[in-house]
């Protein structure tokens, strides 16, 4: 697949005022505590352009992280690098162009004091306002703040908007969630056991200022840094010790979610998982109409749907960018183009473009309306739309039919079904869309082999190119031999040589199959499953049920001659919790594909215009 140059809709090329001059060559770093309204001290690292004249005022980028705002480097690295080394790419790109940066450890984390019972607590959100107050009182501040970040830090960037602080002029959530239940913890009602466990494990050690887990997981990083950076005046380390001591009562989400089944089961303090979702704070974030620049990628967990849900639900002026990279944008993430080895744009190019966007908001014409820029994989082309789904989208239905085929004709046979004994060894591996939440690359190159453990349905070769853009919807009429279970469905394409390429996937735990008639908490483009206890339906062994769910959104061009494939699994062992639980036997799933129970996938197709 050959990359086609395309710039007219490329969000990294569209602004005409390219950054062309460097204002500063280096930056100074200092670390201090900022006192919050309740006395909790927040560790903060401040980067200021070196040589900034006393009368010069500049805007500030604010990053509030739970992953150490700055590193205590080992020698000899400390002799050469600044403590901001872990903030990639270098803060220098921003400071050189006249921005100050403030990195903070959120309360209960890093070198900050305080405790945390759950992520993104109300107190943590309020801290953003206190920090903003501190920033604009500094002699170098021009009173403007842009909140920025990726992943957890992206969500804190977005939640800064909740405070409606007048200094906050733009928020830029990169790879952040919208609905933490379905985007990350329980996609399709299936618990992402691996990520939740590993994330909590890492968080606990970070909060204890213990770099030791890196020795096993990221040994090179462990060689370079030994902990979180204490503040500058903490020469005897007494302050950081006291702060870390306060973290000993922190609580971690996996401890409270690993045995849960429903969205409405509460975490400590009577808080539910929805209480720290972005949709919960929609009205507050919309209040000041602050522009939002959201960015994500097709292959990042359920966060791609977060980006789309933010775009279609929030009234703020918005730019939304969905590209073909991994979580955080350090590696490419394009299973249809596995030969792409370099991420595009590079992190440096991306950040340089962010400065253009910030300057446009702070000093230019601002952002009007909403624009979603998206990259169509397989076509290797950027596109844009003011609405989502894009104009012209049509649904094309493909039925699961005999001989493991997909057909656009509805089956006419009275009888037709396929049995699949669930293989609990089936996996998408550890470089999938879920593990990339840890910053890992994306690798779905094993699908040809992986499909041998799955039940597959494959179409004839396509007669024309087909662009699939949006959320495919899967409807399966199935029965199971067991009272619990899950379906993981993969939309793939098979080339003329038989090589299988991943496009997107969806999954659903069978007890959550009820399509709720209630008003969803936000506008959604896929069948609405509430995942609440009251809506759970037991599986009656042997009884046919309709299991209908959306996959994660995608934009992919399938070339003429290639085939479509649906591959169905009952487990993804390296990621999701097993349903039914271990020791309760292996279910056999029977998928109906006949006149009265015609299972199908609806593909969102964008008609091609003689391309």
**Could you say whether residue 221 binds another protein (CB under 8 A)?**
yes
Q: Known catalytic residue: 256?
A: no
CA-wise closest residue to 96 among 40, 20, 209, 182: 20
Specify whether 97 is catalytic. Answer: no
Q: How far is the CB of 217 from another protein (least distance, A)?
A: 6
Q: Left if phi > 0, otherwise alpha if psi is -120 to 50, otherwise beta: which for 328?
A: left
Q: What is the 3-state secondary structure (H, E, C) of 218-260?
A: CHHHHHHEEEECCCCCCCCCHHHHHHHHHHHHCCCHHHHHCCC
Rg of the chain (C-alpha set) = 25
Number of residues that bind another protein (CB under 8 A): 32
Quick check: 24 binds another protein (CB under 8 A)? no
Q: Which of 151, 200, 297, 301 is flagged as catalytic?
A: 151
Cα→Cα distances 352→171, 347, 509, Å: 16, 9, 42
Smallest distance, Å, CB 231 to another protein? 12
Report the residue number, 351 or 508, with the smaller CB distance to another protein: 351
Please pick, from the candidates 21, 235, 414, 611, the single residue that binds another protein as defined by CB under 8 A.
Answer: 235
Q: What share of the chain is helix, strand, coil (3-state, %, to 5)?
A: 25, 25, 45
Q: Which of 374, 394, 403, 400 is nearest to 386 (CA)?
A: 374
Among 223, 415, 515, 537, which residue sits at the site for another protein (rule: CB under 8 A)?
223
CB burial string 537-551: b at 16+ within 10 A, e below: eebeeeebbebbbbb
Kindly state the smallest distance separating residue 6's Cβ from another protein, in Å.
28
Q: Write down how long the chain is.
A: 611
Q: Which token pair is 132?
A: 């903003």
Q: How far apart are CA 551 and CA 364, in angstroms?
A: 39
Binding to another protein, residues 88-107 (CB under 8 A): 90
The reply on whether position 332 binds another protein by CB under 8 A is: no
Question: Does position 430 bind another protein by CB under 8 A?
Answer: yes
Q: Select from 6, 14, 77, 346 the one that contacts another protein (CB under 8 A).
A: 77
**Catalytic one of 165, 247, 327, 488:** 327
Report the residue number, 216 or 248, with the smaller CB distance to another protein. 216
Q: Are 183 and 327 in contact (CB under 8 A)?
A: no
Cβ atoms of 182 and 192 within 8 Å: the answer is no
Separation CA 160–CA 168 (nearest Å): 8
Pick from 143, 347, 441, 461 the residue near another protein by CB under 8 A: 441
Considering beta carbons, is residue 10 or 90 the nearer one to another protein? 90
Catalytic entry in 127, 193, 300, 443: 300
Q: Hey, what are 74's tokens?
A: 């080992």
Q: Cα–Cα distances in Å, from 382 out to 89, 470, 557?
A: 24, 15, 12
Judged by CB under 8 A, which stretch of 53-61, 108-116, 414-422, 435-443 contacts another protein?
A: 435-443
Interface residue with another protein among 150, 167, 224, 526 (CB under 8 A) is 224
> Of 115-134, which residues contact another protein (CB under 8 A)?
none
Please, which residues bridge with residue 29 across strands?
Answer: 47
**438 belongs to the binding site for another protein (CB under 8 A):** yes
Choose the stretch contacting another protein; rule: CB under 8 A; options: 15-23, 37-45, 55-63, 434-442.
434-442
Tell me the closest approach of the beta carbon of residue 396 to another protein, in angstroms.
37
What is d(CA 255, CA 201) in angstroms, rounded to the nearest whole number? 10
Binders of another protein among residues 164 to 193 (CB under 8 A) are none
Q: Does the annotation mark 471 as catalytic?
A: no
**Chosen residue from 43, 146, 330, 355 binding another protein by CB under 8 A:** 330
Least Å distance, CB 63 to another protein, is: 20
Query: Binder to another protein among 98, 439, 506, 587 (CB under 8 A)?
Result: 439
Read off φ and ψ for residue 78, nearest 5 degrees: -65, -25
List, by residue number, the catalytic residues: 151, 300, 327
Catalog residues that contact another protein under the rule CB under 8 A: 74-81, 85, 90, 197-198, 201, 204, 216-221, 223-224, 235, 330-331, 430-431, 435, 438-441
């Amino acid at each position: 697949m050959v990359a086609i140059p395309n710039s007219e809709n490329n969000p990294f090329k569209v602004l005409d005022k390219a950054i062309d001059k460097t204002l500063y060559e280096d930056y100074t770093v200092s670390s201090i505590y900022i006192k919050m309204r309740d006395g909790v001290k927040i560790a903060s690292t401040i980067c200021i352009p070196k040589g900034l004249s006393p009368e010069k005022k500049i805007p500030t980028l604010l990053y509030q992280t739970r992953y150490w705002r700055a590193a205590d480097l080992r020698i000899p690295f400390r002799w050469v690098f600044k403590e901001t080394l872990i903030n990639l790419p270098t803060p220098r790109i921003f400071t050189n162009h006249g921005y100050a940066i403030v990195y903070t450890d959120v309360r209960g984390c890093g070198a900050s004091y305080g405790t945390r019972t759950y992520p993104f607590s109300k107190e943590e959100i309020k801290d953003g306002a206190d920090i903003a107050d501190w920033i604009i009182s500094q002699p170098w501040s021009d009173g403007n703040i842009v909140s920025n970040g990726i992943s957890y830090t992206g969500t804190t960037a977005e939640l800064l908007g909740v405070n409606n602080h007048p200094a906050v002029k733009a928020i830029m959530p990169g790879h952040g969630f919208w609905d933490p239940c379905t985007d990350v913890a329980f996609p399709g009602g299936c618990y992402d056991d691996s990520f939740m466990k590993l994330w909590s494990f890492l968080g606990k050690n970070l909060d204890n200022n213990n770099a030791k887990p890196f020795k096993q997981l990221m040994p090179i990083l462990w060689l370079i840094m030994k902990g979180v950076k204490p503040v500058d005046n903490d020469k005897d380390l007494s302050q950081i010790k006291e702060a870390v001591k306060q973290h000993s009562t922190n609580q971690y989400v996996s401890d409270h979610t690993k045995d849960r089944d429903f969205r409405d089961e509460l975490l400590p303090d009577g808080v539910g998982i929805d209480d720290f979702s972005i949709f919960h704070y929609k009205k507050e974030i919309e209040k000041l109409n602050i522009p939002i620049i959201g960015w994500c990628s097709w292959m990042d967990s359920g966060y791609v749907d977060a980006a789309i849900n933010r775009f279609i639900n929030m009234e703020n002026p918005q730019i939304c960018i969905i590209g073909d990279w991994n979580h955080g944008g350090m590696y490419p993430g394009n299973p249809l183009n596995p030969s792409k080895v370099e991420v595009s744009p590079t992190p440096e190019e991306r950040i340089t473009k962010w400065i253009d966007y910030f300057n446009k908001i702070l000093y230019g014409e601002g952002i009007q309306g909403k624009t979603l820029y998206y990259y169509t994989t397989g076509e290797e082309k950027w596109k844009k739309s003011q609405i989502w789904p894009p104009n012209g989208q049509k649904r094309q239905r493909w039925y699961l039919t005999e001989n493991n085929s997909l057909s656009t004709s509805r089956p006419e046979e009275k009888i037709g079904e396929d049995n699949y004994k669930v293989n609990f060894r089936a996996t998408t591996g550890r470089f999938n869309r879920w593990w990339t939440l840890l910053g890992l690359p994306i690798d779905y190159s094993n699908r040809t082999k992986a499909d041998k453990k799955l039940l597959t349905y494959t179409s004839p070769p396509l007669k024309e190119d087909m662009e699939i853009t949006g959320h495919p919807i899967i409807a399966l009429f199935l029965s199971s031999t067991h009272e619990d279970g899950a379906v993981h469905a993969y939309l793939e394409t098979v080339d003329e040589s038989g090589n299988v390429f991943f496009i997107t996937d969806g999954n659903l735990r069978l007890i959550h199959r009820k399509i709720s008639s209630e008003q969803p908490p936000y506008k959604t483009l896929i069948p609405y499953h509430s995942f609440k206890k009251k809506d759970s339906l037991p599986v009656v062994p042997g009884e046919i049920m309709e299991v209908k769910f959306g996959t994660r959104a995608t934009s992919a061009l399938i070339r003429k001659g290639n085939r479509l494939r649906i591959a169905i699994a009952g487990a993804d062992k390296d990621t999701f919790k097993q349903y039914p639980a271990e020791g309760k036997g292996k279910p056999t799933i029977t998928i109906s594909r006949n006149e009265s129970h015609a299972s199908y996938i609806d593909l969102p197709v964008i008609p091609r215009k003689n391309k």
